[in-house]
Amino acid sequence: MQIKRQRFLLSALAMTLTTALAWSDDSKKSETENSLADAMSAKLSSTVTVSEAENQVEEKITNGSDKFGSDKERFSYFLGVDLGRSMEQLNSLYEIDQDIAIAGFTEALKGNKLKLSDDELSVVALEFEQAFQEASLKKIAEDQAKAKAESEAFLAKNAKKDGVTVTDSGLQYEVLKEGKGDKPAANAQVEVDYVGTLLNGTQFDSSIERGKRAKFGLNQVIAGWTEGLQLMNKGSKFKFYVPAELGYGERGIPQGDIPGNSVLVFEVELYDFTNEETEEKKAE
């Protein structure tokens, strides 16, 4: 029982340390196979040098030393805030009595006699872990069901708008600017500018903000992009409405601020592309 309790507490500590390290925007990107996020993150990492990043930090962020008398005070305050934020996240899924939680924290920190023995704490830890997991799964299911209903309602209404075309797969798009060049193949390497938003307008990605066009293979991204960009002539600008089935599905990308069952809205301008040779052509 003691081993399991330590494992649970170590998991909680790992979550706290992870939060502490996740202060930069780049850390919000996670590795996801065959996702648009993979291609974009790879390009983002090559656009900012270490010195540039350090300069940005020096210009925009201070270490707060002017607000405290010592590093001890500053570090202690950080740990308190970080633990509080972690507790706030827990509280959003499973209601916690904050006064009791603070009392337990204080007693443990001061080394006072605890109301529960180590064996009792081990049992409570396992019970809480199970209760929290159940609450988390319930919340995820509720959010996914709500998002799915909202997405389906939006797509049904949007499909009737003038200028919106719906493909057999369910992908919807508008032509904002018609190009005159050729169209890329499914295995093409493309060069684009794009902005990605959710239905509520929240922007989750933008090559324009990074100041550098994105380059990636169409066979490396979400299905909505693979299909959609093949409809574009070179020089075109389209607006895509990507159903979850052609995007990140019911799971979404929590680390990338994309909830499950989300419709993704992209404005994409195709500047250039190179079609890769097929194995058959290479053999000729």
Kindly name the residue from 216, 222, 240, 258 that is annotated as catalytic.
Answer: 222
Q: Are 243 and 151 in contact (CB under 8 A)?
A: yes
Q: Which long-range contacts (CB under 8 A, 24 or more apart) does 251-255 make?
A: 253/30, 253/32, 253/35, 253/37, 255/28, 255/29, 255/30
- Residue 241: per-residue pLDDT: 98
Helix (H), strand (E) counts: the chain: 9, 7
Strands (DSSP E) found in the chain: 165-166, 172-177, 189-197, 203-206, 214-217, 237-242, 264-274
Residue 136 corresponds to which amino acid? S
38 is catalytic: no
Q: What gap in Å lies between CA 229 and CA 231, rounded to an integer?
A: 5
- Residue 87: per-residue pLDDT: 86
Tokens read off for 262: 């989300």
Kindly name the residue from 68, 204, 257, 271 that is annotated as catalytic.
Answer: 204
- What is the Cβ-side half-sphere exposure of residue 3, based on CA atoms within 13 angstroms? 0
* Nearest one of 208, 210, 221, 209 to 268, comparing CA atoms: 208
Kindly name the residue from 216, 238, 266, 273 that is annotated as catalytic.
Answer: 266
- Residue 160: per-residue pLDDT: 96
241 is catalytic: no
- Residue 31: per-residue pLDDT: 37
User: What CATH class is the domain 162-283?
Assistant: alpha beta
Residue 11 corresponds to which amino acid? S
Provide block-wise average pLDDT over 10 residues at a time, the chain (284 residues).
42 44 37 42 35 44 86 92 87 86 92 94 94 89 91 96 97 95 93 95 93 93 95 96 95 84 96 74 45
Q: What gap in Å lies between CA 92 and CA 90, rounded to an integer?
A: 5
- Residue 89: per-residue pLDDT: 80
248 is catalytic: yes
94 is catalytic: no
Q: What gap in Å lies between CA 31 and CA 139, rounded to an integer?
A: 24
Residue recorded with tokens 């799915």 = 148
Tokens read off for 238: 């389209």
Kindly name the residue from 194, 216, 238, 241 that is annotated as catalytic.
Answer: 194
70-86 b/e (C-beta count within 10 Å ≥ 16 → b): eeeebeeeeeeeebeeb
194 is catalytic: yes
Q: Are 240 and 263 in contact (CB under 8 A)?
A: no
- Residue 51: per-residue pLDDT: 36
216 is catalytic: no
Q: Are 154 and 146 in contact (CB under 8 A)?
A: no
Q: Are 243 and 257 in contact (CB under 8 A)?
A: no
Helix, strand, or coil (residue 205): strand
- Residue 234: per-residue pLDDT: 95
- Residue 277: per-residue pLDDT: 64
Kindly name the residue from 248, 253, 258, 273 that is annotated as catalytic.
Answer: 248
111 torsion bin: left (phi>0), alpha (psi -120 to 50), beta (else): left
Tokens read off for 277: 């040779």
